[in-house]
Amino acid sequence: MHKGCAITVGELGEFGVIQRISGRLPQGAAVLLGPGDDAAILRAPDGRVVVSTDLLVEGRHFRRDWSGGYDIGRKAAAQNLADIAAMGAEPTALVVGLGLPPDAAADWLDALTDGFRDECDLVGATVAGGDVTRSETVVLGVTALGDLGGRPPVTRSGARPGDVVAVAGRLGHAAAGLALLTAGAGAGAPELRELPEAHRRPRPPYACGPRAALLGATAMLDVSDGLLQDLGHVAEASGVAVALDAAALPVAEVLAAAAAELGADPLEWVLTGGDDHALAATFPPAVRLPPEWTVIGQVEQGHGVRVDGQVRAVGGWDHFRE
């Protein structure tokens, strides 16, 4: 290798890639034995372990010409950590399977690792281990682990008629950002810059999950595939109807500005856009919610999801629909 040339993961080899990743990741408090052996060992003080897994494929979930390695690491970690928080649990660790093309630059790998580390730092978690292999495109398989701290899990099946429906976090931002990137629009508009960033790097309200459990949330999930679609899962699992008030939905000013740029309806982004990983939950009506939560509707007898009394097409993300 000539001096000054970038190192690729192909030049590092599998062992070198693993060593490079391991050397950049601190060991978290929940990890008794981290990367380097055949398996990691984690503390499980609750006696139960919350587990969730996701797969991210280049070209389907992210594009390297739109997102750097750091952003991809943050996004991959965020969408998995949000699943743990949505159960009312505290995230403790991630295990990452990584497929890499041999021509991927080593500094891109370093940035990816730093993204995972920094997102985990937000919740006190760590990357406890994983595996790496050669692949034609970048593929990430991420498993998240969490601890309930003695609390019962908050599932999708506990909503009851009379409960209020509330959300915490951003809605529609990632979808609007994807629309701007796809259209090549708004690049020179500083007021719209946060939307492509929202697509590249979501900001889940992690702390709201365990706090919602303590407040008595009856059902909860993270909004990864669109508000209508995900609340439809709550309605189906709980055997209830969810009635939303369009006027109560949080449509940010920046969404209205992007919609004007693209000739779109910002409410559609809020209702059907995924990848923000906001939390949606149902609570007994007597619960006094903190300001992080916005009440957007209520749970009723029946089935399905309605907006202002009208059944809406679910929309949202489907991996097998173009």
Question: Does the annotation place 224 within a ligand binding site?
Answer: yes
Comparison of pLDDT for 148 and 64, the residue scoring more? 148
230 annotated as belonging to a binding site for a ligand: no
pLDDT value, residue 23: 65
Q: Are 134 and 272 within one domain? A: no
> Which has the closest alpha carbon to 163: 212, 210, 88, 218?
218
Tens-digit pLDDT profile for residues 119-172:
999 999 999 988 888 999 999 999 999 999 999 999 999 999 999 999 999 999
pLDDT, tens digit (0-9, with 9 covering 90-100), for 263-303: 999 999 999 998 999 999 999 999 999 999 999 999 999 99
Residue 154 lies in a domain: no
In total, how many domains does the chain have?
2
The pTM of the full predicted model, rounded to 2 decimals, is 0.89
pLDDT at 309 over 50: yes
52 labelled binding-site residue: yes
For residue 157, being part of any structural domain is answered with: no
- State mean pLDDT over 96-117: 92
Has 61 been labeled as part of a binding site? yes
**Could you tell me if 294 and 267 lie in one domain?**
yes
- Kindly give the pairing relationship between strand 50-57 and strand 139-147: antiparallel
Cα(108)–Cα(102) distance, rounded to whole angstroms?
12
User: Of the residues 105, 120, 147, which one is the last residue of a structural domain?
Assistant: 147
Residue 71 assigned ligand-binding role: no
Question: Is residue 67 a known part of a binding site?
Answer: no
Distance CA 255, CA 269 (A): 8
CB 119 within 8 A of CB 74: yes
Its domain, for residue 48, covers 9-147
Does the annotation list 141 as a binding residue?
no
In a domain, 316, yes or no: no
Q: Is 158 annotated as a binding residue?
A: no
Same domain, 67 and 203: no
Strands 241-244, 41-42: pairing kind = unpaired
Residue 222 assigned to a binding site: yes
Q: What is the pLDDT of residue 321?
A: 52
**Is 293 annotated as a binding-site member?**
no
11: pLDDT confidence band, cut at 50, 70 and 90?
Answer: confident
Residue 53, marked binder: yes
- 50: pLDDT strictly greater than 70: yes
Residue 163 among known ligand-binding residues: no
Q: What is the mean pLDDT of residues 11-17?
A: 70
- Across the strands, what pairs with 126? 93
In a domain, 153, yes or no: no
pLDDT band at 1 (very low <50, low <70, confident <90, very high): very low
| Of 21-35, 85-99, 195-209, minimum mean pLDDT range | 21-35
Q: Is 131 annotated as a binding residue?
A: yes
What CATH number did the domain enclosing 201 receive? 3.90.650.10
How high is the pLDDT of residue 33? 85
Q: Work out whether the CA dihedral 237, 57, 85, 308 comes out positive or negative.
A: negative
